């Protein structure tokens, strides 16, 4: 005679498998993008400059030799418009001071270009395509916010869905592994 408790456990496991399979199929593309972009971001500093541009060396690592941030910013705007495109926005997302290297990095808000300037002379050392920022935008969904100009709305929804989905897949996957073992014991 079949045990009703065991029958209920089997039914529950089938439900978990169906949920796992269906949601896995629905979220496959997103999991694929998150995993590949996460892998690339993990390797960005070891990519030989392909993902994250290498930081170059300036002429002086002494901070007292550095030009003012205002002066360096003006130079960065001029280099951006002269060397990359005069149509690009000069709105700065961040300025990264690297005193040990003697350089200042300028990263801009509305596009994926950056500049490295010598902190002491203000001369352009490197123009960089910020592939790591593009990959990060794909990874966290913020690239869609940038494209549709929605602030952080899409990023918050995307990361919430993906985080909850990963948590549920982990719990569900554990249950799919543990459930049959538990059934065999009873």
Cβ count near 147 (within 10 Å): 10
**Given this model, what pLDDT does residue 181 score?**
82
**Given this model, what pLDDT does residue 33 score?**
95
H, E, C per residue of the chain? CCCHHHHHHHHHHHHHHHHHHHHHHHHHHHHHHHHHHHHHHHCHHHCCCCCCCCCCCCCCCCHHHCCCHHHHHHHHHHHHHHHHCCCCCCCEEEEEEECCCCEEEEEECCCCEEEEEECCCCCEEEEEECHHHHHHHHHHCHHHHHHHCCCCHHHHHHHHHHHHHHHHHHHHHHHHHHHHHHHHHC
Q: 61: which 2 tokens?
A: 């690592």
Task: Report the predicted TM-score, pTM, of the whole model to 2 decimal places.
Answer: 0.83
Q: 172: which 2 tokens?
A: 């569900």
Tens digits of pLDDT across the chain (186 residues): 568 888 888 888 888 888 888 988 999 999 999 999 999 999 999 999 999 999 999 999 988 899 999 999 999 999 999 999 999 999 999 999 999 999 999 999 989 999 999 999 999 999 999 999 999 999 999 999 999 999 999 999 999 999 999 999 999 889 888 888 887 887
**Given this model, what pLDDT does residue 74 score?**
97
**Given this model, what pLDDT does residue 185 score?**
80
Instruction: Compute the Cα dihedral for 93, 44, 99, 128 and give only its sign.
Output: negative
**Given this model, what pLDDT does residue 129 score?**
94
**Given this model, what pLDDT does residue 1 score?**
55
Q: 13: which 2 tokens?
A: 């496991």
Rg (CA), the chain: 25
Contact assessment for residue 134 and residue 74, using Cβ atoms and an 8 Å cutoff: no
Residue 60 falls in which region: left (phi positive, over 0), alpha (psi -120 to 50) or beta: beta
């Amino acid at each position: 005679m079949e045990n009703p408790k065991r029958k209920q456990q089997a039914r529950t496991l089938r439900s978990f498998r169906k949920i796992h399979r269906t949601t896995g199929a629905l979220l496959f593309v997103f999991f694929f993008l998150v995993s590949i972009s996460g892998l690339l971001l993990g390797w960005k500093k070891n990519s030989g400059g392909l993902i994250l541009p290498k930081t170059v060396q300036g002429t002086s690592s002494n901070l007292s030799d550095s030009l003012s941030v205002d002066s360096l910013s003006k130079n960065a705007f001029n280099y951006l418009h002269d060397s990359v495109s005069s149509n690009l926005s000069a709105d700065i997302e961040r300025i990264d001071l690297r005193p040990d290297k003697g350089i200042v990095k300028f990263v801009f808000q509305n596009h994926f270009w950056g500049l490295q300037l010598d902190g002491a002379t203000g001369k352009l050392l490197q123009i960089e395509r910020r592939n790591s920022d593009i990959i990060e935008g794909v990874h966290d969904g913020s690239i869609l916010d940038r494209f549709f100009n929605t602030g952080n709305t899409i990023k918050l929804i995307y990361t919430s869905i993906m985080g909850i989905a990963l948590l549920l897949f982990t719990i569900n996957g554990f249950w799919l592994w543990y459930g049959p073992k538990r059934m065999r014991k009873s």
